[in-house]
């Protein structure tokens, strides 16, 4: 499947956008004012992680709050590893980001006086989370997607999955490594096309599916992180996987989150004996930062041998609960749990990847003209632990920055008509053993959960490392011999991301934020704290 030159039809654009969540759509809408955009998304456009974000978007929009307070909460959650200039850059732009979303037609809940109804979540010392009931992401996705679909300069292609980025280095061109577009699989036809572009924007989201239990939708297989790594971009801090403390525990509840906003409105975590257990773990008790709450639940489960703990919001008035949390209320009811009367069974699950592709303040990676924003990136905002509801804000701020830089640069970027080879399948044949994909996928997710989960040890990481090396070889062989399909591409990317997580976790010999290891339980000197940085050997 190496790509020699012969002519599959080019799908050229000024800008190629990969991904249809908040960052991809916002960026596309901004650059489409002056450029021709092709946006590809591997399933239906609304299946982005944004669509499932319940809590909301944190920003300073009330007189009771200050930018300095939001910065302080972000830095505290980040456990000494945030880049302060980036935190300031993002938080200072919070109110403008909200204004932009309102302009694009997003609606946030209001209070009786017409001001924003602000929620609170773990790690926030003030109410500052703008929300749309408990389905904020769905509202944002609705508004932005409608605009993108209607825009004459945006071509939106669903069920088109990027295989790999096109770069000048791969094409054998001289000069610094530059992004030139991507090879993209048309999932319905099974054909791979060359999409050439003068600038490329990655907004493919996170990698929760690398773990057995996750709050993420099925699309979250780390595709952008893996592709950028293969293309030579730096990736950092992959050990910092955020486990959301409260995912619904029920045999039929696949990946359903119980928003932290429930604790923000007074929800209390109890063990099976009905005891509220968070107070001894942290002064903010149930509203402690997420890493603390997830570890506390893990400890309680191991101590009691129970399958879940319980989130109890029954002290709030039933009508108010139904109005404030309609999505959660409805889903729980379908499974026989009435949250107005019953404590909700919950467990932690992989939720957010704080590491990713390294970008600068313009949202550019270290592959020239490859921009990125959202969960796929590591900007320096989250440090070792993301503050709740900071991610949608980060997506908008960096999509805006990247769009501004792209538009400044576009007039000087030549059209791509160089020697970029069309895709060539070589001797690849149809696989008669698709079971290899499901088997390897299950194996990765299970050992990542057991060995690279909430609490780690050197020995568990070494076991995971041995397994991923074996699997990588098997998956690579399969990839080169058989015709590609979306599940095979996802498996290949998932294996790469698992390797990056294991590698970063093995390098960090301390416990900091979301990385907790029994062999190195103390937090090192903050002055000396560094990101764990990885580059593909070919890029060094």
Q: Measured between alpha carbons, how far is 332 from 344 in angstroms, rounded to an integer?
A: 8
Minimum CB distance to ligand SIN, residue 259 (Å): 3
* Closest by Cα among 34, 41, 89 to 410: 34
Tell me whether residue 324 is one of the annotated catalytic residues.
no
Minimum CB distance to ligand SIN, residue 55 (Å): 3
Judge contact between 326 and 134, C-beta under 8 A: yes
In the bound state with ligand SIN, the residue whose beta carbon lies nearer, of 58 and 401, is 58
Listed ranges 71-79, 181-189, 232-240, 252-260: which one lies at the site for ligand SIN (CB under 6 A): 252-260
Listed ranges 90-98, 265-273, 297-305, 383-391: which one lies at the site for ligand SIN (CB under 6 A): 383-391
- In order of 226, 354, 403, 513, the CA distances from 148 in angstroms are 26, 27, 15, 37
User: Using CB under 6 A as the criterion, what x/- string covers residues 440-459 for binding ligand SIN?
Assistant: --------------------
For the segment 348-377, give every residue that binds ligand SIN (CB under 6 A): 352
Listed ranges 10-18, 253-261, 294-302, 400-408: which one lies at the site for ligand SIN (CB under 6 A): 253-261
Among 20, 168, 259, 517, binds ligand SIN (CB under 6 A): 259
For the segment 12-71, give every residue that binds ligand SIN (CB under 6 A): 54-55
For the segment 128-157, give every residue that binds ligand SIN (CB under 6 A): none
In the bound state with ligand SIN, the residue whose beta carbon lies nearer, of 14 and 260, is 260
Q: Measured between alpha carbons, how far is 513 from 77 in angstroms, rounded to an integer?
A: 8
Partners of 119 in the beta sheet? 129
Q: State the DSSP string of 103-170.
A: HTT----B-TTSSB-EE--TT-SS--EE-STT-HHHHHHHHHHHHHHH-TTEEEEETEEEEEEEETTT
Judge contact between 203 and 21, C-beta under 8 A: yes
In the bound state with ligand SIN, the residue whose beta carbon lies nearer, of 49 and 358, is 49
Residue where the block lists tokens 């009435």: 338
Q: Measured between alpha carbons, how far is 118 from 137 in angstroms, rounded to an integer?
A: 16
Give per-residue burial for 279-289: e unless 16+ CB within 10 Å, then b: eebeebbbbbb
Minimum CB distance to ligand SIN, residue 382 (Å): 11
255 scored as a contact of ligand SIN (CB under 6 A): no
Judge contact between 232 and 536, C-beta under 8 A: yes
Listed ranges 26-34, 150-158, 385-393, 514-522: which one lies at the site for ligand SIN (CB under 6 A): 385-393
Neighbours of 421 (CB within 10 A): 18
In the bound state with ligand SIN, the residue whose beta carbon lies nearer, of 234 and 259, is 259
Phi, psi (rounded to 5 degrees) for 289: -55, 155
In the bound state with ligand SIN, the residue whose beta carbon lies nearer, of 82 and 488, is 82
Secondary structure (3-state) at 1: coil
Among 109, 260, 394, 400, binds ligand SIN (CB under 6 A): 260
Q: Measured between alpha carbons, how far is 261 from 57 in angstroms, rounded to an integer?
A: 11
Binding footprint of ligand SIN, residue count (CB under 6 A): 10
Among 32, 210, 261, 378, binds ligand SIN (CB under 6 A): 261
Q: Which residue is nearest to ligand SIN (CB)?
A: 55
Angle formed at CA 337 by CA 336 and CA 338, multiple of 5 degrees? 120
100 scored as a contact of ligand SIN (CB under 6 A): no
388 scored as a contact of ligand SIN (CB under 6 A): yes
Counts of helices then strands in the chain (DSSP H, E): 14, 18
Minimum CB distance to ligand SIN, residue 38 (Å): 30
For the segment 263-322, give every residue that binds ligand SIN (CB under 6 A): none
In the bound state with ligand SIN, the residue whose beta carbon lies nearer, of 258 and 357, is 258
Listed ranges 258-266, 319-327, 405-413, 474-482: which one lies at the site for ligand SIN (CB under 6 A): 258-266
Minimum CB distance to ligand SIN, residue 134 (Å): 7
Q: Measured between alpha carbons, how far is 164 from 358 in angstroms, rounded to an integer?
A: 18
Among 153, 389, 406, 496, binds ligand SIN (CB under 6 A): 389
Phi, psi (rounded to 5 degrees) for 378: -125, 100
Minimum CB distance to ligand SIN, residue 270 (Å): 18
Q: Measured between alpha carbons, how far is 364 from 177 in angstroms, rounded to an integer?
A: 13
Listed ranges 105-113, 180-188, 387-395, 495-503: which one lies at the site for ligand SIN (CB under 6 A): 387-395
In the bound state with ligand SIN, the residue whose beta carbon lies nearer, of 15 and 220, is 220
Q: Measured between alpha carbons, how far is 371 from 378 in angstroms, rounded to an integer?
A: 12
Minimum CB distance to ligand SIN, residue 67 (Å): 19
Phi, psi (rounded to 5 degrees) for 21: -90, -160
Minimum CB distance to ligand SIN, residue 77 (Å): 11
In the bound state with ligand SIN, the residue whose beta carbon lies nearer, of 167 and 259, is 259
Catalytic annotation, pick one of 120, 138, 290, 324: 290
- Report the interhelical angle of 67-77 vs 84-92 (nearest 10°): 140
Give per-residue burial for 186-196: e unless 16+ CB within 10 Å, then b: ebeeeebbbbb
In the bound state with ligand SIN, the residue whose beta carbon lies nearer, of 57 and 370, is 57
Listed ranges 24-32, 222-230, 275-283, 386-394: which one lies at the site for ligand SIN (CB under 6 A): 386-394
Among 391, 406, 493, 532, binds ligand SIN (CB under 6 A): 391
Q: How far is C-alpha 23 from the geometric centre of its chain's CA atoms?
A: 11
Residues serving a catalytic function are 290
- Tell me which residues touch ligand SIN (CB under 6 A): 54-55, 257, 259-261, 352, 388-389, 391
């Amino acid at each position: 499947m190496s790509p020699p030159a012969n002519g599959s039809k080019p799908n050229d654009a000024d800008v190629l956008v990969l991904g249809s969540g908040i960052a991809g759509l916002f960026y596309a809408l901004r650059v489409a004012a002056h450029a021709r955009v092709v946006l590809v998304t591997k399933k239906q456009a609304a299946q982005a992680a944004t669509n499932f974000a319940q809590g909301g978007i944190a920003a300073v929009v009330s007189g009771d709050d200050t930018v300095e307070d939001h910065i302080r909460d972000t830095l505290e959650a980040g456990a000494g590893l945030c880049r302060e200039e980036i935190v300031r850059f993002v938080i200072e732009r919070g109110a403008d980001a909200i204004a932009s979303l309102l302009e694009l037609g997003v609606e946030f809940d209001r209070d009786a006086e017409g001001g924003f109804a602000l929620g609170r979540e773990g790690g926030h010392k003030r109410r500052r989370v703008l929300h749309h009931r408990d389905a904020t992401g769905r509202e944002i996705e609705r508004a932005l997607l409608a605009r993108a679909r209607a825009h004459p300069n945006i071509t939106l292609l669903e069920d088109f999955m990027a295989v790999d980025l096109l770069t000048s280095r791969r094409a054998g061109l001289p000069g610094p490594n530059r992004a030139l577009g991507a090879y993209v699989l048309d999932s319905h036809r099974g054909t791979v096309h060359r999409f050439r572009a003068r600038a490329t924007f990655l907004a493919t989201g996170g990698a929760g599916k690398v773990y057995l239990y996750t709050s993420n939708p099925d699309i979250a297989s780390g595709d952008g992180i893996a592709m950028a790594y293969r293309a030579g971009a730096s990736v950092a801090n992959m050990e910092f996987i955020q486990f959301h403390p409260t995912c619904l525990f029920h045999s039929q509840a696949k990946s359903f989150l119980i928003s932290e906003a429930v604790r923000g409105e007074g929800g209390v975590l109890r063990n099976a004996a009905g005891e509220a257990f968070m107070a001894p773990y942290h002064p903010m008790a149930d509203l402690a930062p997420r890493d603390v709450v997830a570890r506390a639940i893990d400890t309680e489960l191991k101590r009691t041998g129970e399958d879940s703990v319980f989130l109890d919001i029954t002290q709030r008035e039933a009508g108010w609960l139904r109005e404030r949390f309609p999505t959660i209320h409805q889903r729980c009811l379908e499974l026989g749990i009435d949250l107005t009367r019953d404590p909700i069974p919950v467990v932690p699950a992989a939720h957010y990847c704080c590491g990713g592709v390294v970008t600068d303040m313009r949202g550019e990676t270290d592959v020239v003209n490859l921009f990125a924003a959202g969960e796929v990136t590591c900007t320096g905002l989250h440090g070792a632990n993301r503050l709740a509801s900071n991610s949608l804000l980060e997506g908008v701020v960096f999509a805006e920055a990247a769009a501004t830089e792209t538009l400044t640069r576009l007039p000087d970027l030549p059209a791509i008509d160089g020697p970029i080879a069309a895709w060539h399948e070589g001797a690849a044949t149809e696989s008669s053993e698709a079971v290899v994909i499901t088997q390897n996928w299950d194996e990765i997710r299970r050992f990542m959960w057991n060995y690279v989960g909430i609490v780690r040890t050197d020995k568990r990481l070494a076991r995971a490392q041995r397994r991923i090396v074996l699997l990588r070889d098997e998956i690579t062989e399969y990839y080169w011999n058989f015709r590609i399909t979306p599940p095979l591409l996802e498996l290949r990317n998932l294996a790469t991301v698992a390797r990056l997580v294991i590698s970063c976790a093995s390098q960090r010999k301390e416990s900091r934020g979301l990385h907790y290891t029994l062999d190195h339980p103390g937090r090192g000197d903050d002055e000396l704290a560094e990101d764990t940085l990885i580059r593909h050997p070919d890029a060094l």
